[in-house]
Amino acid sequence: MDLTNKIAVVTGANKGIGLESVNQLLDKGAVVYGICRNGCSTKHPNYTCLTADVGNLEQVDAAFNIILEKHGSVDVLINNAGLGYFGYCEDISVAQWQELFNTNVTGIFYCTRRVLPGMKKAGTGHIVNIASIAGLEGYPQVSAYCATKFAVRGFSDSLYKEVRDFGVKVTCVYPGSVKTDFFRHSENIKPHDNMLMPADVASQIVFALESPANYHPVNLEIRPLKPRG
Ligand SMILES: NC(=O)c1ccc[n+]([C@@H]2O[C@H](COP(=O)([O-])OP(=O)(O)OC[C@H]3O[C@@H](n4cnc5c(N)ncnc54)[C@H](OP(=O)(O)O)[C@@H]3O)[C@@H](O)[C@H]2O)c1
């Protein structure tokens, strides 16, 4: 897809992988909407920040109503918003479990269901879901987060088979550790320079979005070299 003037929505756009994706999409000439919980500082003539918690149906619907009333349909959705809580299973609180699933899984459903009718009608569109290598294999003390990312993988794998005949692409991204604020709830992992950089992940997302119309990258596993330095 040529991204010039395409309508793109990025969730969790105020920092990390989401912010880098916004910046790279703007560089490609896209018209970008960020969905952020608490606003963001990005200033660009082609950028609009909409405030919504992706796990809140009313707020998500209000944000997409604004976008769809203005543009009719969306060309690109990057379901990026997410967080992690870590620890032994019995130490994960019920509230943390619910927040993980509301954000990492239900939020993707809430956003995706608003763009699919327009994409299917237009016969084009691309949804990118940010999973994790924690959606490919389990890790001790990561059970709750892994459960959400395995769910994202299952959702994505089903969805691509459901919409490919409509001309709509779905790509699921599985990054290894990325140097972002993501590890703020982890006692064991601290960000370091041998991790992937958020710009690395964003550039692979853009590469997938720019793929020709006749094929679609389905799964994108991205791992750092020399992860421990
Ligand atoms: N960093 C890694 O090692 C890594 C590896 C694999 C996959 N991932 C995935 O990559 C995605 C982006 O993470 P990141 O590394 O860029 O972390 P990050 O810097 O912490 O960014 C996460 C973004 O998601 C937003 N967010 C969280 N909960 C939200 C909610 N309920 N509603 C709306 N926005 C919400 C955050 O907003 P606030 O600023 O308001 O919290 C922030 O903008 C996540 O899905 C994460 O699971 C990360």
pLDDT tens readout for residues 7-20: 999 999 999 999 99
CA 28 to each of CA 7, 19, 94, 198, 207: distance values in angstroms, whole numbers, following the listed order: 12, 14, 42, 17, 11
Examine the pLDDT at 229 and tell me if it is beyond 70.
no
Q: By CB neighbour count within 10 A (0-12 exposed, 13-18 middle, 19+ buried), where does 198 fall?
A: buried
What stretch of H or E contains 18?
Answer: helix 16-27
Q: What is the pLDDT of residues 147-197, one digit of tens each?
A: 999 999 999 999 999 999 999 999 999 999 999 999 999 888 888 999 999
pTM of the predicted protein model: 0.98
Q: What is the pLDDT of residues 68-82, one digit of tens each?
A: 999 999 999 999 999
The residue contributing the CA closest to ligand 1 atom 40 is 37
Is the C-beta atom of 12 inside 6 A of ligand 1?
Answer: yes
| CATH superfamily of this structure's domain 7-222 | NAD(P)-binding Rossmann-like Domain (3.40.50.720)
Q: Which of 1, 20, 24 is nearest to 12 (CA)?
A: 20
Q: 58 by DSSP, 3-state: which?
A: helix
Q: Which of 110, 102, 106, 98 is nearest to 9 (CA)?
A: 110
Q: By CB neighbour count within 10 A (0-12 exposed, 13-18 middle, 19+ buried), where does 223 fall?
A: exposed
Is the C-beta atom of 224 inside 6 A of ligand 1?
Answer: no
Q: What is the pLDDT of residues 142-154, one digit of tens each?
A: 999 999 999 999 9
Q: What is the pLDDT of residue 89?
A: 98
Is the C-beta atom of 217 inside 6 A of ligand 1?
Answer: no
The residue contributing the CA closest to ligand 1 atom 34 is 12
Q: Which residues are catalytic?
A: 145
